[in-house]
Amino acid sequence: MKKKIAVLAGDGIGPEVVAQGLKVLDAVAERSEHEFTYCHADIGARAIKKTGDPLPESTVDACLNSDAVLLGAIGDPEYDNAPDLKVRPEQGLLRLRQKLGLYCNIRPVKTYKELLHLSPLRPEAVEGVDMVIYRELTGGIYFGEKGRSEDGQSAFDTCTYSVREIERIAKQAFEAAGHRRKKVTLVDKANVLETSRLWRKTVTEFAKQYPDIELDFMYVDNAAMQLVVHPKQFDVILTNNMFGDIISDEASVFVGSLGMLPSSSVGFKTSLFEPIHGSYPQAAGKDIANPVATILSVALMLKSLGLYKDAFRIEQAVSACLNKGIGTPDLNPNITYSCSQMGDVIASIVSGADVKYERISDGISTII
Protein backbone atom coordinates (compact mmCIF):
# COMPACT_ATOMS: atom_id res chain seq x y z
CA MET A 1 0.00 0.00 0.00
CA LYS A 2 1.23 3.49 -0.89
CA LYS A 3 -0.03 6.51 1.05
CA LYS A 4 0.94 10.17 1.19
CA ILE A 5 0.94 11.84 4.61
CA ALA A 6 0.92 15.61 5.17
CA VAL A 7 3.07 16.35 8.23
CA LEU A 8 2.35 19.55 10.16
CA ALA A 9 4.78 19.52 13.08
CA GLY A 10 3.65 22.90 14.38
CA ASP A 11 4.99 24.64 17.48
CA GLY A 12 6.66 23.88 20.80
CA ILE A 13 7.13 20.15 21.33
CA GLY A 14 5.21 19.42 18.12
CA PRO A 15 8.31 18.73 15.98
CA GLU A 16 9.79 16.43 18.65
CA VAL A 17 6.73 14.23 19.15
CA VAL A 18 5.90 14.14 15.43
CA ALA A 19 9.43 12.92 14.72
CA GLN A 20 8.75 9.92 16.97
CA GLY A 21 5.43 9.25 15.28
CA LEU A 22 7.14 9.17 11.90
CA LYS A 23 9.85 6.94 13.32
CA VAL A 24 7.18 4.40 14.29
CA LEU A 25 5.38 4.79 10.97
CA ASP A 26 8.66 4.05 9.18
CA ALA A 27 8.99 0.90 11.28
CA VAL A 28 5.50 -0.15 10.17
CA ALA A 29 6.46 0.45 6.55
CA GLU A 30 9.64 -1.58 6.89
CA ARG A 31 7.89 -4.55 8.45
CA SER A 32 4.72 -4.53 6.36
CA GLU A 33 6.15 -3.36 3.01
CA HIS A 34 3.86 -0.35 2.92
CA GLU A 35 5.17 2.89 1.48
CA PHE A 36 4.52 6.20 3.23
CA THR A 37 5.71 9.45 1.69
CA TYR A 38 5.72 12.67 3.69
CA CYS A 39 4.92 16.22 2.70
CA HIS A 40 6.05 18.66 5.43
CA ALA A 41 4.22 21.98 5.82
CA ASP A 42 3.91 24.81 8.35
CA ILE A 43 1.01 25.82 10.58
CA GLY A 44 0.53 27.96 13.67
CA ALA A 45 3.18 30.27 15.10
CA ARG A 46 5.87 28.73 12.94
CA ALA A 47 3.86 29.62 9.84
CA ILE A 48 3.13 33.16 11.08
CA LYS A 49 6.83 33.83 11.57
CA LYS A 50 7.60 32.62 8.06
CA THR A 51 4.65 33.95 6.09
CA GLY A 52 2.48 36.10 8.37
CA ASP A 53 -0.34 33.55 7.99
CA PRO A 54 -1.07 30.73 10.51
CA LEU A 55 -2.37 28.57 7.63
CA PRO A 56 -0.63 29.28 4.30
CA GLU A 57 -2.37 28.08 1.15
CA SER A 58 0.58 25.79 0.47
CA THR A 59 -0.24 23.95 3.71
CA VAL A 60 -3.89 23.58 2.74
CA ASP A 61 -2.85 22.24 -0.66
CA ALA A 62 -0.48 19.73 0.97
CA CYS A 63 -3.31 18.44 3.18
CA LEU A 64 -5.87 18.26 0.38
CA ASN A 65 -3.45 16.25 -1.73
CA SER A 66 -2.66 13.73 1.01
CA ASP A 67 -4.36 10.59 2.27
CA ALA A 68 -4.05 11.73 5.90
CA VAL A 69 -2.65 14.58 7.98
CA LEU A 70 -0.42 14.19 11.07
CA LEU A 71 -0.37 17.29 13.29
CA GLY A 72 1.89 18.01 16.26
CA ALA A 73 0.77 21.00 18.32
CA ILE A 74 -0.10 24.66 17.89
CA GLY A 75 0.58 27.58 20.23
CA ASP A 76 3.28 30.00 21.32
CA PRO A 77 3.50 32.11 24.51
CA GLU A 78 4.50 35.09 22.39
CA TYR A 79 0.91 35.17 21.15
CA ASP A 80 -0.77 33.95 24.33
CA ASN A 81 0.52 36.99 26.21
CA ALA A 82 -0.76 39.43 23.58
CA PRO A 83 -4.56 38.94 23.50
CA ASP A 84 -5.17 41.91 21.18
CA LEU A 85 -3.20 40.44 18.28
CA LYS A 86 -5.45 39.84 15.29
CA VAL A 87 -3.32 37.02 13.83
CA ARG A 88 -2.94 34.06 16.20
CA PRO A 89 -1.62 30.48 15.84
CA GLU A 90 -4.94 28.87 16.82
CA GLN A 91 -6.67 30.50 13.87
CA GLY A 92 -4.68 28.18 11.63
CA LEU A 93 -6.25 25.09 13.21
CA LEU A 94 -9.80 26.45 13.09
CA ARG A 95 -9.40 27.36 9.43
CA LEU A 96 -7.85 23.98 8.66
CA ARG A 97 -10.90 22.24 10.15
CA GLN A 98 -13.11 24.27 7.85
CA LYS A 99 -10.95 23.81 4.76
CA LEU A 100 -10.79 20.03 5.20
CA GLY A 101 -14.37 19.68 6.41
CA LEU A 102 -13.23 18.04 9.65
CA TYR A 103 -16.69 17.68 11.11
CA CYS A 104 -16.11 14.79 13.54
CA ASN A 105 -13.52 14.78 16.31
CA ILE A 106 -12.88 11.39 17.92
CA ARG A 107 -11.14 11.09 21.29
CA PRO A 108 -10.64 7.63 22.74
CA VAL A 109 -10.04 7.57 26.49
CA LYS A 110 -8.60 4.33 27.80
CA THR A 111 -6.86 3.87 31.13
CA TYR A 112 -3.77 1.73 31.68
CA LYS A 113 -3.36 -0.33 34.83
CA GLU A 114 0.28 0.77 35.13
CA LEU A 115 -0.73 4.46 35.24
CA LEU A 116 -3.75 4.35 37.55
CA HIS A 117 -1.72 5.92 40.36
CA LEU A 118 -1.31 9.07 38.22
CA SER A 119 -5.05 9.68 37.91
CA PRO A 120 -6.57 12.28 40.26
CA LEU A 121 -9.51 9.90 40.71
CA ARG A 122 -9.44 6.75 42.82
CA PRO A 123 -7.81 3.83 40.98
CA GLU A 124 -10.91 1.67 41.43
CA ALA A 125 -13.03 4.39 39.78
CA VAL A 126 -10.96 4.64 36.60
CA GLU A 127 -9.59 1.11 36.21
CA GLY A 128 -11.12 -0.37 33.07
CA VAL A 129 -12.36 2.94 31.62
CA ASP A 130 -12.65 2.57 27.84
CA MET A 131 -14.77 5.21 26.15
CA VAL A 132 -14.68 7.29 23.00
CA ILE A 133 -16.06 10.82 22.61
CA TYR A 134 -17.53 11.93 19.28
CA ARG A 135 -17.52 15.73 19.17
CA GLU A 136 -19.06 17.72 16.33
CA LEU A 137 -16.25 20.00 15.18
CA THR A 138 -17.31 22.52 12.56
CA GLY A 139 -20.64 23.87 13.80
CA GLY A 140 -22.24 25.34 16.88
CA ILE A 141 -21.26 28.34 18.92
CA TYR A 142 -17.60 28.32 17.90
CA PHE A 143 -18.47 28.94 14.26
CA GLY A 144 -21.70 30.90 14.62
CA GLU A 145 -22.21 34.62 14.11
CA LYS A 146 -20.58 36.65 16.87
CA GLY A 147 -19.99 40.28 17.74
CA ARG A 148 -20.18 43.15 20.20
CA SER A 149 -22.49 46.11 20.52
CA GLU A 150 -21.30 49.50 19.33
CA ASP A 151 -20.87 50.72 22.89
CA GLY A 152 -18.91 47.60 23.85
CA GLN A 153 -21.27 46.82 26.72
CA SER A 154 -22.66 43.55 25.36
CA ALA A 155 -21.60 40.68 23.13
CA PHE A 156 -23.16 37.68 21.47
CA ASP A 157 -22.19 34.24 20.13
CA THR A 158 -24.79 32.39 18.07
CA CYS A 159 -25.17 28.60 18.23
CA THR A 160 -26.71 27.06 15.13
CA TYR A 161 -27.06 23.43 14.02
CA SER A 162 -28.79 21.70 11.12
CA VAL A 163 -30.25 18.20 10.93
CA ARG A 164 -27.62 17.33 8.30
CA GLU A 165 -24.75 18.32 10.61
CA ILE A 166 -26.19 16.22 13.43
CA GLU A 167 -26.93 13.15 11.31
CA ARG A 168 -23.48 12.93 9.77
CA ILE A 169 -21.70 12.74 13.12
CA ALA A 170 -24.42 10.52 14.60
CA LYS A 171 -23.64 8.02 11.86
CA GLN A 172 -19.97 7.98 12.90
CA ALA A 173 -20.88 7.43 16.56
CA PHE A 174 -23.42 4.65 15.96
CA GLU A 175 -21.12 2.82 13.55
CA ALA A 176 -18.37 2.92 16.19
CA ALA A 177 -20.72 1.68 18.91
CA GLY A 178 -21.56 -1.32 16.77
CA HIS A 179 -17.94 -2.46 17.10
CA ARG A 180 -17.75 -1.71 20.81
CA ARG A 181 -20.24 -2.24 23.65
CA LYS A 182 -23.24 -1.07 21.60
CA LYS A 183 -24.15 1.99 23.64
CA VAL A 184 -24.38 5.68 22.66
CA THR A 185 -24.94 8.46 25.17
CA LEU A 186 -26.09 11.78 23.72
CA VAL A 187 -24.88 14.65 25.90
CA ASP A 188 -26.93 17.84 25.47
CA LYS A 189 -28.88 20.54 27.33
CA ALA A 190 -32.30 19.84 25.87
CA ASN A 191 -34.11 21.22 28.91
CA VAL A 192 -32.85 24.71 28.04
CA LEU A 193 -31.39 24.99 24.53
CA GLU A 194 -33.35 24.78 21.28
CA THR A 195 -30.31 23.44 19.43
CA SER A 196 -30.08 20.62 21.97
CA ARG A 197 -33.74 19.79 21.42
CA LEU A 198 -33.01 19.48 17.71
CA TRP A 199 -30.04 17.22 18.52
CA ARG A 200 -32.20 14.99 20.71
CA LYS A 201 -35.02 14.74 18.19
CA THR A 202 -32.68 14.07 15.28
CA VAL A 203 -30.55 11.47 17.06
CA THR A 204 -33.65 9.70 18.43
CA GLU A 205 -35.01 9.34 14.92
CA PHE A 206 -31.62 8.39 13.48
CA ALA A 207 -31.12 5.67 16.11
CA LYS A 208 -34.01 3.67 14.62
CA GLN A 209 -31.59 2.59 11.90
CA TYR A 210 -29.50 0.86 14.60
CA PRO A 211 -31.94 -1.23 16.67
CA ASP A 212 -29.12 -3.17 18.33
CA ILE A 213 -27.53 0.01 19.75
CA GLU A 214 -28.71 1.30 23.13
CA LEU A 215 -29.28 5.05 23.14
CA ASP A 216 -29.53 7.11 26.30
CA PHE A 217 -29.49 10.84 27.05
CA MET A 218 -27.70 12.94 29.63
CA TYR A 219 -27.70 16.67 30.30
CA VAL A 220 -24.18 18.06 30.04
CA ASP A 221 -24.02 19.19 33.67
CA ASN A 222 -24.99 15.72 34.86
CA ALA A 223 -22.57 14.15 32.36
CA ALA A 224 -19.74 16.23 33.80
CA MET A 225 -20.58 14.85 37.25
CA GLN A 226 -21.09 11.26 36.07
CA LEU A 227 -17.70 11.28 34.35
CA VAL A 228 -16.12 11.81 37.74
CA VAL A 229 -18.44 9.60 39.80
CA HIS A 230 -18.85 6.60 37.48
CA PRO A 231 -16.85 6.94 34.22
CA LYS A 232 -17.02 3.23 33.38
CA GLN A 233 -20.72 3.56 32.47
CA PHE A 234 -19.82 5.32 29.21
CA ASP A 235 -19.05 3.64 25.90
CA VAL A 236 -19.61 6.13 23.04
CA ILE A 237 -20.43 9.75 23.93
CA LEU A 238 -21.98 11.88 21.18
CA THR A 239 -22.19 15.65 21.63
CA ASN A 240 -21.89 19.09 20.09
CA ASN A 241 -18.81 21.24 19.60
CA MET A 242 -18.66 23.20 22.86
CA PHE A 243 -19.86 20.43 25.17
CA GLY A 244 -17.43 18.01 23.52
CA ASP A 245 -14.56 20.42 23.96
CA ILE A 246 -15.22 20.62 27.70
CA ILE A 247 -16.04 17.02 28.62
CA SER A 248 -13.26 15.52 26.48
CA ASP A 249 -10.73 17.61 28.42
CA GLU A 250 -12.36 16.49 31.66
CA ALA A 251 -12.14 12.83 30.64
CA SER A 252 -8.52 13.22 29.55
CA VAL A 253 -7.29 13.38 33.15
CA PHE A 254 -8.41 9.78 33.82
CA VAL A 255 -5.33 8.39 32.09
CA GLY A 256 -2.92 10.41 34.23
CA SER A 257 -1.10 12.30 31.48
CA LEU A 258 -2.16 14.30 28.45
CA GLY A 259 0.83 12.74 26.74
CA MET A 260 -1.05 9.44 26.45
CA LEU A 261 -4.15 10.55 24.55
CA PRO A 262 -4.54 10.54 20.76
CA SER A 263 -7.32 11.97 18.63
CA SER A 264 -8.57 12.01 15.08
CA SER A 265 -10.78 14.35 13.08
CA VAL A 266 -12.75 12.89 10.20
CA GLY A 267 -13.27 15.07 7.15
CA PHE A 268 -14.90 14.99 3.74
CA LYS A 269 -11.61 15.26 1.86
CA THR A 270 -9.06 13.78 4.26
CA SER A 271 -8.68 13.16 7.99
CA LEU A 272 -6.35 14.63 10.59
CA PHE A 273 -4.61 12.90 13.50
CA GLU A 274 -3.05 14.64 16.49
CA PRO A 275 -2.27 14.30 20.20
CA ILE A 276 -4.72 16.18 22.41
CA HIS A 277 -2.01 18.03 24.33
CA GLY A 278 -0.82 21.54 23.60
CA SER A 279 2.53 22.83 22.43
CA TYR A 280 4.08 22.77 25.96
CA PRO A 281 6.70 25.42 25.10
CA GLN A 282 8.47 25.00 28.45
CA ALA A 283 9.62 21.54 27.35
CA ALA A 284 10.46 22.37 23.72
CA GLY A 285 13.96 21.26 22.74
CA LYS A 286 14.59 19.39 26.01
CA ASP A 287 13.74 15.89 24.69
CA ILE A 288 11.44 15.22 27.65
CA ALA A 289 7.99 15.37 26.00
CA ASN A 290 5.82 12.25 25.93
CA PRO A 291 5.41 11.11 22.30
CA VAL A 292 2.94 8.29 23.04
CA ALA A 293 -0.16 10.36 22.24
CA THR A 294 1.29 11.15 18.82
CA ILE A 295 2.35 7.54 18.27
CA LEU A 296 -1.15 6.34 19.19
CA SER A 297 -2.53 8.97 16.81
CA VAL A 298 -0.47 7.26 14.12
CA ALA A 299 -2.22 4.02 15.11
CA LEU A 300 -5.60 5.75 14.64
CA MET A 301 -4.39 6.91 11.23
CA LEU A 302 -3.52 3.37 10.22
CA LYS A 303 -6.97 2.17 11.29
CA SER A 304 -8.55 4.84 9.09
CA LEU A 305 -6.48 3.50 6.19
CA GLY A 306 -7.67 -0.06 6.88
CA LEU A 307 -4.34 -1.23 8.37
CA TYR A 308 -5.77 -2.64 11.59
CA LYS A 309 -3.03 -5.21 12.25
CA ASP A 310 -0.33 -2.56 12.01
CA ALA A 311 -2.28 -0.25 14.30
CA PHE A 312 -2.72 -3.03 16.85
CA ARG A 313 1.02 -3.70 16.72
CA ILE A 314 1.69 -0.08 17.73
CA GLU A 315 -0.81 -0.26 20.58
CA GLN A 316 0.78 -3.46 21.82
CA ALA A 317 4.23 -1.88 21.69
CA VAL A 318 3.03 1.00 23.88
CA SER A 319 1.51 -1.47 26.36
CA ALA A 320 4.77 -3.46 26.41
CA CYS A 321 6.70 -0.34 27.43
CA LEU A 322 4.27 0.44 30.23
CA ASN A 323 4.40 -3.16 31.43
CA LYS A 324 8.17 -2.82 31.73
CA GLY A 325 7.74 0.27 33.90
CA ILE A 326 9.34 2.64 31.45
CA GLY A 327 8.20 5.98 30.11
CA THR A 328 8.88 9.68 29.82
CA PRO A 329 9.19 11.89 32.96
CA ASP A 330 5.48 12.83 33.07
CA LEU A 331 4.61 9.18 33.77
CA ASN A 332 6.88 9.00 36.84
CA PRO A 333 8.19 5.62 35.61
CA ASN A 334 10.61 3.21 37.24
CA ILE A 335 12.90 3.76 34.26
CA THR A 336 12.85 7.19 32.63
CA TYR A 337 13.24 7.48 28.87
CA SER A 338 13.62 10.65 26.83
CA CYS A 339 11.17 11.54 24.08
CA SER A 340 13.49 10.24 21.35
CA GLN A 341 14.37 7.09 23.32
CA MET A 342 10.69 6.32 23.78
CA GLY A 343 10.25 6.64 20.03
CA ASP A 344 13.25 4.39 19.44
CA VAL A 345 12.04 1.56 21.64
CA ILE A 346 8.45 1.62 20.38
CA ALA A 347 9.68 1.66 16.79
CA SER A 348 12.02 -1.24 17.56
CA ILE A 349 9.19 -3.33 19.01
CA VAL A 350 6.96 -2.54 16.04
CA SER A 351 9.71 -3.53 13.60
CA GLY A 352 9.90 -6.95 15.27
CA ALA A 353 13.36 -6.50 16.77
CA ASP A 354 14.37 -8.21 19.99
CA VAL A 355 14.57 -5.27 22.38
CA LYS A 356 16.90 -4.91 25.34
CA TYR A 357 14.92 -2.39 27.39
CA GLU A 358 17.62 -1.91 30.00
CA ARG A 359 20.09 -0.65 27.39
CA ILE A 360 18.03 2.38 26.45
CA SER A 361 18.84 4.29 29.61
CA ASP A 362 22.54 3.82 28.92
CA GLY A 363 22.24 5.19 25.40
CA ILE A 364 23.07 1.80 23.89
CA SER A 365 21.27 0.22 20.96
CA THR A 366 18.02 -1.47 21.98
CA ILE A 367 18.32 -4.15 19.33
CA ILE A 368 20.23 -7.37 19.79
Give catalytic residues, as residue numbers. 142, 189, 221, 245, 249
How many angstroms separate the CA atoms of 263 and 276, rounded? 6
Q: Is 278 exposed, middle or buried (0-12, 13-18, 19+ CB in 10 A)?
A: middle
Pair 53, 43: CB distance under 8 Å: no
Beta bridge partners of residue 263, listed in sequence order: 274
The CA–CA distances, whole Å, from 294 to 96, 126, 211, 313, 357 equal: 19, 23, 36, 15, 21
DSSP category for residue 151: T
**How many Cβ atoms are within 10 Å of 198's Cβ, its own excluded?**
18
Give the C-alpha separation, 251 to 235, whole Å. Answer: 12
List C-alpha distances in Å: 170 to 100, 132, 236: 19, 13, 11
**Sequence-separated (6 or more) residues with CB below 8 Å from residue 163:** 198, 202
Report yes or no: 276 and 8 within 8 Å, Cβ to Cβ: no
H-run or E-run covering 88: none
324, 335 in Cβ contact below 8 A?
A: yes
User: How many whole angstroms separate alpha carbon 21 and alpha carbon 23?
Assistant: 5
- Residues paired with 109 in a beta bridge: 131
DSSP letter, residue 255: G
Count Cα neighbours of 199 within 13 Å in the Cβ-side half-sphere.
Answer: 31
- Determine the longest span between alpha carbons in the chain, in angstroms: 71
Helix boundaries (H) for 153-213:
163-178, 194-206
